[in-house]
Structure 1
Amino acid sequence: MSNTTSIKLPNGEWLLTRVAYTAKEHSGVTFLLVVSALSLVAVVGLLSVISLSAFNTRTYKNDEHLFVRTHVAAYFISLLCCDLIQAIGSLYNSRWVNSGAVLLDKYCTAQGVFKQIADVGTALWTIIIAVHTFYLLVLERKPNQFTLYTTLIAGWSGIFAIVISGPAVLDTVDRGPFFGISGYWCWISDGYEVPRITLDYLIMFVAAFSCFVLHGLIHLRLRGNMSMKGWRMTFYRQPQERPTGRNFDDKGMSIARQMLLFPIAYCIIILPIAVSRFAAWNGHIVSFEETVFCETVFLLSGCVNVTLFCTCRQILPPKSLVLLKRSISKPKPIQRVEATSIAVSPESDPYYAASITTTVVGYGFDKGHDVDIEKGSMSDSSSVPMGEGSTRVSDPYEQTVAPLQIRKSVRHPRPPSVIIPNRELDDVYNMYSGGQPDVYSGDFNDVNLGSGHHPSHR
């Protein structure tokens, strides 16, 4: 690192106010920006998917088996929020990349706050998930809602209390600001080496060690090499009794086992940082390449958590991930109906005595039917052949869904009335050749009523 600017503090130490990047450092920090952007996109995407699932299942009553309604879901969402804060804090490096140097200003202070919240938050929520899994799988007890709310309030309050306590209690004029330039970006200043270890590194290492111990106990319990009687543990060389999950269902047991992967992943992620920090405390000079590698692995925490969640089997119901739900009406059942025949009473003219009206009303037929107009009956077309005076009534789609009403009326045509004006019969007779006048009725037998030609008035 070269081209640094610093001021001398009252206690005789130097405070960095500007650190310029070399070409190699500029490229390395740019690469960290890309990794941070990937984690940001992954975490935001998973949070959106979980929110969509929770919204689509909001009407599912008395269903406690959904992931979004479990305690571990609330803890996991808190872990994702810390991963999101970590990605945002790392993206502040874009300002230093653009300016070519790290500057001690308000943006530097903001980056330091974001980074410490992310470090403490990921450590705290990871160990909470491990403890919750231990409580379910080893102790076989299901926490109540009061435990959930108490844990959430205490967890976030503890994170902000730790972050605020540094500048509120330890920040002095002699040592400069608590959050300042630290290496190639901003974090806890170099003048606060002990608070940096106790308020950040120590919490991360304790969380990783606790997760390692809890995972070992859970592994032995699931194999049957350990039994629990109250809080007393008994270990066996050969597998004995395994957890039955009597206090919760198999779905909760499966989710708890899958969520156990996240504490394991956290232990692996912070391992490079732990190695580099212990090496530096022993006097080893950590190179820039080693620093970028450790920071890259740590920034991939968001991507790793998202990947592990996506590989878990059926944590979120597939139907709850649909953006738009289109409802399609269910088809109504097909009902068979019988044809009804209504005979028309004879009128004064015997010509209409045989006239009938046949009406068929229903929801359709699954095959053709024969309607006998003369007899007023209906029969199956597959067994009764059609004859004269029959009409085939069939559904062209074999089965129809929408209500269908078929009305069939058959009548003999009534001839139109012809009124012969009162005129000389001889004149009318001349218009219709061959007709013989009937002097009594005034009608002509040979008048073509369907021709459309009618006698005209003179």
Structure 2
Amino acid sequence: MSPSIFAKYAPGQSSAIAVVVVCAILATLALSFVLVRLVWVTGAARYGRSESTRHSRMGFFFRTQLGVFVGCLLACNLLTSISGLISINWIAVGGVKEGFNCTSQAVLSEMGNFGSAYFMVVLGIHAFNSLVLRNRHANWINTVLVVGGWVATIVIGVAPAFVSGKAGPLYGATSFNCGFTQRYPVQHLLQHFLPTFLASVLSTVIYSLVFLILRGTLTINGGLRLNLNPESRWLGNSGSFLEYQRFVNSIGRSMLW
């Protein structure tokens, strides 16, 4: 990228960007604390150091397949937050200047965006598979999902930094930060907006199905059927509240494997 390209902020725009930076700082601190604590607890459990019951439970959660997916999602969110911190440079100089910092912000932003979308869908599929289908896939499938997700995240985020079309580099200065430039609207749509949109739609559909099936509104045994009175499952049962507690506990246990 040519370092001579400079997109100057409009009057008052720096103040608006400062709000984004403050949110990025808070998010980075929060996510960093969670991930550092996760590494500490996991390491303590692995090397036999004493930990309280609460901490050992935390380590157990992040050693399950669900915990691994959640940890990956948090890491992707952290990448997005770190990319927001780079905007401190743009506030200091009053605009966005293309160069190494600009490219780094674009790479981190795209990695965080795609990775968050990917692991959000993976979590939804895991929930549907565990709670509705009651299936447990092999550990190697979990490894493929995690490794494949991170490889795709890195490639999709880093590759455009080395690609330059007829209109110039794909990554460059936008109105307030760095990412796909306005010269490449199709790439911006396909790689930035489309993954987030598809992840939102798929997650909504998957979690809605999980909720409706667990609630009893939809049944899948013997075909898809609609039940408008799911509470009837508990009627006539003298221990209905106890049964409901057992039902909720079974949901939690079925997610942790």
- The two structures have a TM-score, normalised by structure 2, of 0.81
Pick closer, same or farther for the CA change 1:49–1:256 going to 2, 3 Å. Answer: farther
Of 109, 120, 129, which aligns to 2:114? 120
Given that residues 110 and 156 in structure 2 are in contact (C-alpha distance below 8 angstroms), is that contact kept between their aligned partners in structure 1?
A: no
Question: Which residue in 2 is equivalent to 1:253?
Answer: 251
Given that residues 86 and 114 in structure 1 are in contact (C-alpha distance below 8 angstroms), is that contact kept between their aligned partners in structure 2?
A: yes
- 1:104 CA drift (Å): 1.3
Structure 2 residue matching 1:148: 3-state secondary structure: helix
Q: Would you say 1:49 and 2:40 are equivalent positions?
A: no
Structure 2 residue matching 1:30: 3-state secondary structure: helix
Of 163, 170, 176, which aligns to 2:168? 176
- 1:48 CA drift (Å): 2.1
Question: Which residue in 2 is equivalent to 1:235?
Answer: 226
- 1:254 CA drift (Å): 1.7
Equivalences for residues 239-318 of structure 1 within 5 A: 239=230, 253-254=251-252
Pick closer, same or farther for the CA change 1:167–1:221 going to 2, 3 Å. Answer: same
Q: Would you say 1:28 and 2:16 are equivalent positions?
A: yes
Of 115, 127, 136, which aligns to 1:133? 127
- 1:251 CA drift (Å): 5.7
- 1:241 CA drift (Å): 6.9
Pick closer, same or farther for the CA change 1:89–1:140 going to 2, 3 Å. Answer: same
Structure 2 residue matching 1:190: 3-state secondary structure: coil
Question: Which residue in 1 is equivalent to 2:53?
Answer: none
The one-letter amino acid paired with 1:107 is: N
Question: Which residue in 2 is equivalent to 1:92?
Answer: 86
Pick closer, same or farther for the CA change 1:252–1:160 going to 2, 3 Å. Answer: farther
Q: Would you say 1:17 and 2:5 are equivalent positions?
A: yes
Structure 2 portions without partners, runs of 5+: 50-56, 235-246
Q: Which has the higher Rg, Structure 1 or Structure 2? A: 1
Pick closer, same or farther for the CA change 1:36–1:124 going to 2, 3 Å. Answer: same
User: 1:252, 1:178 → 2: CA distance?
Assistant: 49
| 1:383-411, Cα deviation, whole Å (9 max, x unpaired) | xxxxxxxxxxxxxxxxxxxxxxxxxxxxx
- 1:52 CA drift (Å): 2.9
User: 1:71, 1:251 → 2: CA distance?
Assistant: 18
Given that residues 102 and 173 in structure 2 are in contact (C-alpha distance below 8 angstroms), is that contact kept between their aligned partners in structure 1?
A: yes
User: 1:52, 1:250 → 2: CA distance?
Assistant: 30
Task: Report the structure, 1 or 2, having the larger helix content.
Answer: 2
User: 1:125, 1:251 → 2: CA distance?
Assistant: 25
Task: Report the structure, 1 or 2, having the larger strand content.
Answer: 1
The one-letter amino acid paired with 1:198 is: L
Given that residues 227 and 241 in structure 1 are in contact (C-alpha distance below 8 angstroms), is that contact kept between their aligned partners in structure 2?
A: no
- 1:167 CA drift (Å): 4.8
Given that residues 80 and 112 in structure 2 are in contact (C-alpha distance below 8 angstroms), is that contact kept between their aligned partners in structure 1?
A: yes
- The two structures have a TM-score, normalised by structure 1, of 0.47
- 1:255 CA drift (Å): 6.4
Q: Would you say 1:68 and 2:95 are equivalent positions?
A: no
Of 204, 209, 214, which aligns to 1:212? 204
- 1:198 CA drift (Å): 0.8
Question: Which residue in 2 is equivalent to 1:151?
Answer: 145
RMSD over aligned Cα, in angstroms? 2.8
Structure 1 residue matching 2:5: 3-state secondary structure: strand
User: 2:134, 2:124 → 1: CA distance?
Assistant: 14
User: 1:252, 1:71 → 2: CA distance?
Assistant: 17
Structure 2 residue matching 1:184: 3-state secondary structure: coil
Given that residues 18 and 104 in structure 1 are in contact (C-alpha distance below 8 angstroms), is that contact kept between their aligned partners in structure 2?
A: yes
User: 1:143, 1:89 → 2: CA distance?
Assistant: 35
Percent identity between the two aligned chains: 22
Given that residues 103 and 161 in structure 2 are in contact (C-alpha distance below 8 angstroms), is that contact kept between their aligned partners in structure 1?
A: no
The one-letter amino acid paired with 1:155 is: G
Structure 1 portions without partners, runs of 5+: 1-6, 8-15, 243-248, 260-458
The one-letter amino acid paired with 1:34 is: V
Given that residues 111 and 187 in structure 1 are in contact (C-alpha distance below 8 angstroms), is that contact kept between their aligned partners in structure 2?
A: yes
Structure 2 residue matching 1:237: 3-state secondary structure: coil
Given that residues 79 and 112 in structure 2 are in contact (C-alpha distance below 8 angstroms), is that contact kept between their aligned partners in structure 1?
A: yes
User: 2:170, 2:154 → 1: CA distance?
Assistant: 15
Of 25, 30, 35, which aligns to 1:37? 25
User: 1:234, 1:161 → 2: CA distance?
Assistant: 43
Of 94, 101, 105, which aligns to 2:99? 105
- 1:229 CA drift (Å): 4.0
Q: Would you say 1:163 and 2:157 are equivalent positions?
A: yes
Q: Which has the higher contact order (CA 8 A, sep 6+)?
A: 2
Question: Which residue in 2 is equivalent to 1:429?
Answer: none
User: 1:46, 1:164 → 2: CA distance?
Assistant: 26
